[in-house]
Amino acid sequence: MERFRTQSLVPRRKKQKGIHSATFLSSYEVKFSELVIFILERKMGVTRRTFLMELARRKGFRVENKLSDSVTHIVAENNSGAEIMEWLNVQKAGDHARFKLLDISWFTACMEAGRPVDSERKHQLMVNYSTTLYTPTSEPSAFPLVTVSQYACQRRTTINNYNKKFTDVFEILAENCEFRENEGHCLAFMRAASVLKFLPFVVVRVQDLEGLPWMGDQIRGIIEEILDEGESYSANAILNDERYKSFKLFTSVFGVGLKTSEKWYRMGLRTLEEVKADKALKLTKMQRAGFLHYEDLAGCVSKAEADAVSLIVKGTVRTLFSDALVTVTGGFRRGKKTGHDVDFLIALPGPRLEDELLHKDLLLYYDLVESTFEKAKLPSRKVDGFDHFQKCFEIVKLHHQRVDPSGSSPSGESEKKEFKDWKAIRVDLVMSPFEQYAFALLGWSGSRQFERDLRRYAMHEKKMMLDNHALYDKTKKIFLKAESEEEIFAHLGLDYIEPWERNA
């Protein structure tokens, strides 16, 4: 970077407190008129700001001394996105979404290159970009305003999805990327689907996406294709792709993940029948149970079945520990009517769950995973990090009476056909100490995108680290205690979101 003498830029006479130096009148040629920079003085100081403004003008950039309607890029140093948004609110700057909020690193890169550089995620501050939307088909005055944040933890998303035809496509695209371990594209599709699930109206034109976060050119192109053609050719191609179909089938088996699916696919296996027929394969105990009860486990668990399993689990736990807390988590806690398994969080007064709870006649399979938690360990920096609780993955035999479609009871003497009076249900038990219960409950309630954005928000906006065990304030260097989910949201400065509003 070029070096400049600063003596002429610094006022020789001591300024009075609170009075800024006069605007520097530039006579330099503006080479890059498509962007207008405003450098935020906050946490920077007058002298450094003045020097940087002069430097940018010498390089051909247009720099405004005051925030105005012409400003396109705001540059800040040592400020979080939340702090800049707060400052903009004080300035009554109107629609914040029109600004690109960038770290000083972007400005430095521009000065070194002598031209504007890409202002994408590398330099862009993590900001709650929001916009005001109206229901597209109606008059603005007739509908309440809706604020759309880039963070799912600031959006109240119920199970009412008005844009399912779009989100179904993005979930197929995301799943295919996950099968191929393409994390970046998978996340982009999941974020787009999450925003669309939140919208209280049906998207009927591309213009309805204006100002929404995570709606890049690729996402908009897919939505436009669905609007014009009624379908996505990319999604259709994936659904007919042999690799995708094989991975989808293999991972539907309890105990089979991506690595095993990749191995089987490379071996030339394409169907479950081929897998079971291959005598050279050594299946794990979990996978053998998955194949044995595949018909039940591959189907959906209803809310009624989840409630029945809940009675069994709660009754068993409280027989052994009368003061234990047992809570259904996952999708059923968020108000979903169906799921693939039933998750429970159990908070115990003692150190851990005893084996005697696990050896019951109703258990078809169980796998106990011991806790690996270290008490002094800081929360994970990964937004998708695994926790360290003791867990038990089970298949439970749920008894019920099936009724013959003809209306006759299977118990009738004349009935020749045998009826299976039970169903295999997947159940996950997570054991948490009382002091970590609130964090575990929040983490295991989901949804996945909600939890990911909650941790991302904590890190980027509040300089905190959150996981299923604890919340740590990096600035104060202390762990923040919480006895409820509400207290965790309060620590983060967020409005409390009910579980049924976390279906992101």
Please give the full DSSP string across 199-241, using - where no structure is assigned: -SS---SGGGGTT-TT--HHHHHHHHHHHHHSS-HHHHHHHT-
CB 81 within 8 A of CB 102: no
Please give the full DSSP string across 166-194, using - where no structure is assigned: HHHHHHHHHHHHHHTT-HHHHHHHHHHHH
306-356 residue pLDDT tens: 999 999 999 988 888 888 999 999 999 999 999 999 999 999 876 555 544
List domains and CATH numbers for the chain. 7-113 (3.40.50.10190), 132-238 (1.10.150.110), 241-292 (1.10.150.20), 301-404+418-501 (3.30.210.10)
**Residues marked as binding for Mg(2+)?**
341, 343, 428
80-130 residue pLDDT tens: 777 788 788 778 777 777 788 888 888 988 898 889 987 656 777 765 444
CA distances from 297 to 286, 302, 303, 308, 343 (A): 12, 12, 15, 16, 14
418-462 residue pLDDT tens: 678 899 999 999 999 999 999 999 999 999 999 999 999 999 999
Q: Specify the pLDDT at position 19.
A: 32
Q: Tell the residue number behind the tokens 């979903």, with chain if given.
A: 336
What gap in Å lies between CA 436 and CA 441, rounded to an integer?
9
| Cα-based angle 345, 347, 351 (whole degrees, multiple of 5) | 130
Q: Specify the pLDDT at position 310.
A: 95
Residue 294 clears pLDDT 60, i.e. is over it: yes
Could you list the active site residues? 341, 343, 428
Q: Specify the pLDDT at position 350.
A: 63
Q: What sections of 380-447 are H helices per DSSP?
A: 437-445
218-230 residue pLDDT tens: 999 999 999 999 9
**Residues marked as binding?**
341, 343, 428
Bigger pLDDT: 138 vs 164? 164
